[in-house]
Amino acid sequence: MKKKILILSGGISKERLISLDTGLQVANELKKNGYKVKISEPDNNLAKNINLFKPNIVFNALHGQFGEDGYIQTILEGFKIPYTHSGAIPSSIAMDKEISKKIFISNKILTPKHIIYSFNKKTSGLIKVIDKKLKFPVVVKPINEGSSVNVFICTKKNISKVLASIKIYKQIMIEEFIAGREIQVAIMGKKKLGAIELKPKRKFYDYKAKYNAKAKTQHIIPVELSKSKLNEIMSIALKAHDVIGCKGVTRSDFKFHKNKFYLLEINTQPGMTKLSLVPEIAAYNKISFIKLIEWILKDASTKR
C-alpha cells in the first residue's frame, strides 16, 4: 500500500508562489503514481490536518523564511513525523548567509569576500569600506532570503538608492562581485548527482531568470569542464553539504572565475518546478521526477 504524504506549500515568505508551484507539481506526480496526498498551508490548521490525515511523511515544499530556515522543521519534529530535506539546525545555518559563509571559510571552501552592513549606519562611510575591502561592483543581498529575492549588483552610483529600497532588513550582506560562469551542483544524499551551467540573458541568475520562462536563461548540461574540474566542483558541493549537516537533496550555487570555484550559497530545499534545476540534473542522469521524489521520501524516513 502506498504511503500517505502531506505536502506543505505556500507559506508567508516572498517565495510563496514558487512554493505553491513546487507543492502542486510534487502532489500531481505522487497522485499519478498511487499515493494518497494532501496539500496543507503551514498555518493554524496544520496540527488539525496532521491529526486528521495521519501522514506517513511530510514533504516540505516550502521555500524562504519560515519554510527552510529551521522554523517549520522544529514544529514538525514536535509531531514526530518524518519530513523531507534537512533538519532544523542545518536548515537554519544554510539559510543564514553570514553563518554559512563562516563555516565555508573555516573549512577552506572558497567563497566571495563580504561585509555585513547594518541600516543604523551612514552610507557615506560604507563607500570607503567597500573600496578598501571589496572594490566595486558589489553584490547586495539579504542575509536570510532565497531565490535571489532582493539581490542587486551595485556600483558606487546606485548603491545608496538600492540600500534605501531594502531597508526592511535590519542587516544585509555586501559581497565582492565575482565575474565568470554560473554553475550549480546537485547533491543527493552522499551522491554527487551532477552539475548544470546557466547563461542568463539578464545581468545575473536573479529571481526573474529563475522563474520566468520569458527570461530565456540557457541551461547547459553537461557542463563544459574537464573531468578533473567537474569532479572538483562536485566535491566542493558535497563537502559543503556535509559540513553544514544537510540531508536529502541540496543545490549549491557557484561562480567559476580564473580557474577557481567560488561557492555563493547552498540551498537545502531546491525547487521542484518545471524550470527547476535539480529535476533537470536528475533527468539527465536518468532519474525520473517520480523516482527523485520517491528517493527524497525514502531518505526522510531514515534517521537524522
Q: What is the mean pLDDT of the chain?
A: 89
Q: Specify the pTM.
A: 0.89
Catalytic residue among 21, 29, 265, 280: 265
Q: CB–CB of 201/216 below 8 Å?
A: yes
- Tell me which of 2-6, 73-77, 209-213, 262-266 is least confident: 209-213
- What distance in Å separates the CA atoms of residue 212 and residue 14, rounded to the nearest whole number? 15
β-pair partners for 262: 255
15 is a catalytic site residue:
yes
Handedness of CA 95, 96, 101, 102 (dihedral sign): negative
Mean pLDDT value across residues 224-234:
97
Catalytic residue among 9, 144, 147, 276: 147
Which CATH architecture fits 4-84?
3-Layer(aba) Sandwich (3.40)
pLDDT at 46 over 80: yes
Contacts of 66 (CB under 8 A, 6+ apart): 11, 12, 13, 42, 72
For residue 76 the three cell numbers come to 514538525
147 is a catalytic site residue:
yes
Which CATH architecture fits 114-176?
2-Layer Sandwich (3.30)
Q: How confident is the model at residue 209 (pLDDT cuts 50, 70, 90)?
A: very low
Cα distances from 223 to residues 125, 184, 227, in angstroms, run 42, 10, 10
77 is a catalytic site residue:
no
Q: Could you write out the three-class secondary structure of the chain?
A: CCCEEEEECCCCCCCHHHHHHHHHHHHHHHHHCCCEEEEECCCCCHHHHHHHHCCCEEEECCCCCCCCCCHHHHHHHHHCCCECCCCHHHHHHHHCHHHHHHHHHHCCCCCCCEEEEECCCCHHHHHHHHHHHCCCCEEEEECCCCCCCCCEEECCCCHHHHHHHCCCCCEEEEEECCCCEEEEEEEECCEEEEEEEEECCCCCCCHHHHHCHHHCCEEECCCCCCHHHHHHHHHHHHHHHHHHCCCCEEEEEEEEECCEEEEEEEECCCCCCCCCHHHHHHHHCCCCHHHHHHHHHHHHCCCC
Catalytic residue among 251, 252, 262, 276: 251
Q: How confident is the model at residue 123 (pLDDT cuts 50, 70, 90)?
A: low
271 is a catalytic site residue:
yes
253 is a catalytic site residue:
yes
CATH superfamily entry for domain 94-109+179-298? ATP-grasp fold, B domain (3.30.470.20)
Q: How confident is the model at residue 33 (pLDDT cuts 50, 70, 90)?
A: very high
Angle between the N-to-C axes of helices 16-32 and 289-300, in degrees from 0 to 180, rounded to the nearest 10:
100
251 is a catalytic site residue:
yes
CA 210 to chain centre: 12
Mean pLDDT value across residues 231-254:
97
Catalytic residue among 64, 253, 276, 280: 253
Domain residue extents for the chain: 4-84, 94-109+179-298, 114-176
Catalytic residue among 15, 69, 176, 206: 15
Instruction: Quick: pLDDT tens for 66-106.
Output: 999 999 999 999 999 999 999 999 999 999 999 999 999 99
Catalytic residue among 10, 23, 87, 271: 271
Residue 229 CA neighbour count, 13 Å, CB half: 14
49 is a catalytic site residue:
no
248 is a catalytic site residue:
no
